[in-house]
Amino acid sequence: MRTMASVWFSVLVLVSAQQAFGNICSKDNSELHCNDCIRCGGYWCNEKGSPHCVSSLEDGWCPNDQEILPELEESSVPGKTVSPIYAQRSLYIMKPDRMDIEYFYKKELPLKIEIYNTTQTRNIVVKKYDTKCTATSCKATIEATPLQDFCTSSSSPEEFVHVTINVGHLEKVTLKYFIPCACECSSKNVVKNSLICNGNGDYSCSACQCNSKWTGEFCDVPICPKGRGDVQCTNPDFSYAECSGNGYCGPCETCICYTDRVGSQYFDQEEYCADICMISNQCEDCLLNSTAGECDSCVHTMIMQNYNETLKDSKDEFNRNIWVACNETVNDCHIDYYARRAADKSIYFMIERSCNDINSAPIVGTPKVSIILGVLGIIAAVAAIGGVMLWKHMNAIPPVPLNDPQYQNIDAEDCRGENPLYKPPTSSFKNPTYGKW
């Protein structure tokens, strides 16, 4: 069952990773700069107050100052045994272009496609999409797709790739692909960190191109509204310490908590993914106090109830343990206890073992939130998989860095621990169940 859940989780992760790092051309047009706009096959207007980038030409749009791309005339030259022997076409980033090549059929002809030269990178895929042959002739469909990073930062409006195709005849095919990589206006009148862009971006082609931390038409909207303050979660190498061993550094210097670990339903995103043991361990007085009921000597609401062996193994509707095993040592007094957090954030705990072992006081406070006990058997197992997925969906799983070794540890242990931030990792890295897929 765990394997199933992992597989499902991997699928989710892949899907969201693709969304996050997806192609620039799928972005909202208003977020594109002139270069990106025309690379993606859009149209650009330099007039103020107009929508700058549109994907199709509309009447009345940009009457005066449209960014004109160099004339790229499509043409083709037929040959005797192969047609065409020469063709030129315009391509746009991430947009597959297909064209047909017809040739006389000779048995077992190899079709060799070669990128002959390029004024940019070789990040372009040219491949045979399909071939159809009759007794005498063949028609091969060639598909070309410039990839997202085909253009470089110093690209010009007119870049090209020459491709040769050999179908086994003396005549060969030469294809010349034009790929617009930049607007003319991009190289003229660029104002670095312009005041129009609130000093947070460059002004060119009548629009702001914002620095990485800003967005909005005039780069006046911070992408990360609140900084993390004291410790910044920017170095993935320190994710483990900075996110309490329960998460990794995500965007905007925040911790993204793992969602697949024991007690992860209680990991606190706002508090460096501190787990419930870390939080309740701060309330030492309450852990030492053996009177059941609400403890009033801590900033957190801590409610003690009597230890109940059956209760501690209860599961929630997603088949997760409701109670998390914790321990703490206060003045040489070692305490083993179980904790859970209710919807109102108050923490319930029950002490399994303590040096001042007097747990006979009657239950004063009863749990306010009903506990949904898990059902056993196959039905429960099936439901749990569905449940885990639903729950992950609801929590909007962020893309997980698949190569992050910390993430490879799905088999996490209990969050027994003392000091939130400076504890060495308590989990082992031996079992990378995750990532094997």
Ligand X SMILES: *[C@@H]1O[C@H](CO)[C@@H](O)[C@H](O)[C@H]1NC(C)=O
- Residue ranges binding ligand X (CB under 6 A): 116-117, 162, 174, 285, 289, 291, 293-297, 308, 310-311, 327, 336, 416-417, 426
**Residue number with CB closer to ligand X (184 or 284):** 284
Q: Other C-beta atoms within 10 Å of 141: how many?
A: 14
Instruction: Give whichever of 95 and 162 is closer to ligand X, judged by the CB atom.
Output: 162
SS3 299: coil
CB of 178 to ligand X, least distance (A): 13
List CB contacts of 223: < 8 A, sequence separation 6 or more.
212, 213, 214, 215, 252
Closest distance of CB 291 from ligand X, Å: 4
| Interatomic CA distance for residues 67 and 70, integer angstroms | 10
Nearest alpha-carbon partner for 261 in 437, 409, 430: 409
d(CA 103, CA 138): 5
- CB of residue 355 to ligand X, shortest distance in Å: 12
Beta bridge partners of 146: 124
| Nearer Cβ to ligand X (277/400) | 277
DSSP-derived letter for residue 406 is G
* CB-nearer residue toward ligand X: 13 or 175: 175
CB proximity list for 372: less than 8 A, separation 6 or greater: 316, 317
Whole-number Cα distances in Å, 110 to 4, 83, 129, 323: 44, 16, 15, 66
Report, in Å, the least distance between residue 69 CB and ligand X: 21
Q: Where are the alpha helices (DSSP H) in 196-312?
A: 239-242, 276-281, 284-288
Both tokens assigned to 271 = 């508090």
Specify the residue, 374 or 417, whose C-beta has the smaller distance to ligand X: 417
In sequence order, the β-bridge partners of residue 336 are 327, 353
CA distances from 344 to 246, 302, 339, 340, 369 (A): 22, 12, 14, 11, 9
Q: Closest separation between CB of residue 293 and ligand X, Å?
A: 5
CB of 32 to ligand X, least distance (A): 29
Query: In this complex, which beta carbon is closest to ligand X, that of residue 131 or of residue 174?
Result: 174
Of all residues in the shown chain, the one whose CB is closest to ligand X is 416
In the bound state with ligand X, the residue whose beta carbon lies nearer, of 27 and 162, is 162
Looking at the Cβ atoms of 212 and 370, the one nearer to ligand X is 370
320 phi, psi to nearest 5 deg: -95, 150
**CB nearer to ligand X: pick between 18 and 356:** 356
Place of tokens 């900075």: 242
Taking the least distance from each CB to ligand X, the nearer of 350 and 388 is 350
Smallest gap from residue 164 Cβ to ligand X (A): 8
**CA–CA gap between residue 38 and residue 40 (Å, rounded):** 5
Q: Which of 392, 170, 156, 360 is nearest to 261 (CA)?
A: 392
CB of 274 within 8 A of CB of 244? yes
| Nearest-approach distance from CB 413 to ligand X, in angstroms | 7
Phi, psi (degrees; rounded to nearest 5) at 384:
-65, -40
Q: Alpha-carbon distance 207 to 45, whole Å?
A: 10
CB of 309 to ligand X, least distance (A): 7
Work out how close the CB of 98 gets to ligand X at its nearest, in angstroms, rounded to a whole number: 22
